[in-house]
Amino acid sequence: MRIGYARVSTQEQETRAQLDALTAAGVELIHEEKRSGASMRRPVLDKLLRNLKRGDTLVVYKLDRIARSLKHLLSIIDRLQDRGADFHSLTEHIDTNTPAGRLMLQMLGAFAEFEREMIRERTRSGMQAAKKRGVRLGRPRSLDPVQERQAVAQWRTGRYTLTALAHQYGCHLSSIKRAVYRADQVSQPRLID
């Protein structure tokens, strides 16, 4: 039996293109999952791999839909081989029924992992360059400096809970906690050996 696996990273994304390609390739049963590829925990994929039988073929639209690293991909292929099942990727035209298909699978997986590492490296370099230029990375703070000082002053009176302050300032509880933490760090002198 040809069994398909379609995955997208977020709930907002759609698997329609993958489903159409899998159906056109004669896949009889398709499992869908909406979970980031970076996550190693994929309940739908895990259940699918446990239920494969000898002679089944796991079909995916593209390699990056099933694994995010060569190590992970090879682990999945090992699980398939243990069950007597094969693997087929439609986009990369890989079929593990043949020795050439198995070799191509490993080579493409290595190149895909290399590409992801290069993207990570460029991203880190870009972030470091931005920091040197004075760019503040991350989300903007919910509270401006004046609001932070006011919230901390109210907290220190002992008449307000962190939750009450979060409601008052219309922000998340964590924003108030971070403001108090930062204020405590500034008010405590740093010891130098």
Q: Which residues are catalytic, by number?
A: 9
**CA 173 – CA 133 distance, rounded (Å):** 31
**CA 85 – CA 140 distance, rounded (Å):** 49
Alpha helices by DSSP H, listed for the chain, are: 16-24, 43-51, 70-83, 99-132, 145-157, 162-169, 173-187
**Length of the chain measured in residues:** 193
CA-based nearest residue to 25, from 116, 72, 94, 100: 94
CA-based nearest residue to 116, from 67, 77, 74: 67
**Which residues fall within 8 angstroms of residue 110, CB to CB, at 6 or more apart?**
70
